[in-house]
Amino acid sequence: MLATPGSPPAGPGWAVEFKWDGIRAIVAAGTGRVQVWSRNATDVTASYPELVDGPTAAALAERGPLLVDGEIVALDERGRPEFTRLAQRMHVRAPTGDLVARVPVLLYVFDVLDLHGRSLLGETYDDRRAELEALHLDGVPHVAVPPSYTDVAPAQLLEVASAHRLEGVVSKRRRSRYEPGRRSSAWVKTALLTTQEVLIGGWTPGQGRRLGTIGALLLGAYDGQGRLRYLGHVGTGFTDAALNLLADRLAPLAQPESAFDDDIPAAEARAARWVSPSLVGEVVYRTLTPDHRLRHASWRGLRPDRDPDEVVLEPAP
């Protein structure tokens, strides 16, 4: 179940949670085994051994069989989820012990979908939340259950999120059922960071310090008619490791012509190396121009948990 972007709703009947800067995960536990899937149903179990092995797996299995929905996060030095930190783990199928120690992850669980063989999809949010809290998952290593507020207005909690530099809030109707795979108006996400999922349609070579590698990525997203619209380029926000990863991933996707359905500025097209638009990434940006160009964009990372056909133009904030 996915949230619809929007302003904080007003009126009674809403529960509000903080929006976490991580990746969505569905986790199943039972009969001594834990499995993890990304939002696009990719099995990422091997990528997060701290969630599926040892005491965490044993504790989850004791409470199962169960199926939960949540967010995998990596925390910064102040204890806040940081996507760029998590990005160091997202593309590693078999992380070394050193990487796991340097960038540990947590599973923030916010919903339970099935418990002891009983589907909870038809239960209300309040009833599912009660079942979730009764599991006492906060006692499981590498797992936490973030708070849900029913006595705080969504707009008020958004101010708290801003003060603590969190990503935003998600408001959920307390009488809503869980609708798998559907983007529902019963959940409303209000982001403080303005982000856009993007497809990489090309890149331009770097200069100076970046000579021999990527200088900027040429980005796009699909509009309502299924056309790949050019959104502009991004040349900041990259670490050296990110540039190396992108170079490796883009090399086999090279193609002779642009996949964009609109014209690319000549200065960028002249030096462009075109690629098949099958890699999904994410940028944060300041504004979106009327002709759908990202201004002051910065790279946040690849999104292997997203499918290319999911990448559509978000409404301008």
CA nearest to 185, candidates 60, 9, 30: 9
The DSSP line for 246-313 is: HHHHHGGGB-SS---SSPPPHHHHHH-EEB-S--EEEEE-SEE-TT--EES-EEEEE-TTS-GGG-BP
Q: What is the DSSP letter of 137?
A: G
The pairing of beta strand 2-5 with beta strand 183-191: parallel
Rounded CA-CA distance 2/192 in Å is 18
CB contact at 8 A, 173 and 150: no
Say whether 172 is catalytic.
Answer: no
Q: Of 8, 15, 16, 19, which one is the catalytic site residue?
A: 19
Distance of alpha carbon 162 from the chain centroid = 19
CB contact at 8 A, 231 and 219: yes
CB contact at 8 A, 67 and 112: yes
Q: 3-state SS of 159-216?
A: HHHHHCCCCEEEEEECCCCCCCCCEEEEEEEEECCCEEEEEEEEEEEECHHHECCEEE
Owner of token pair 């796991």: 100
Q: Which residues are catalytic?
A: 19
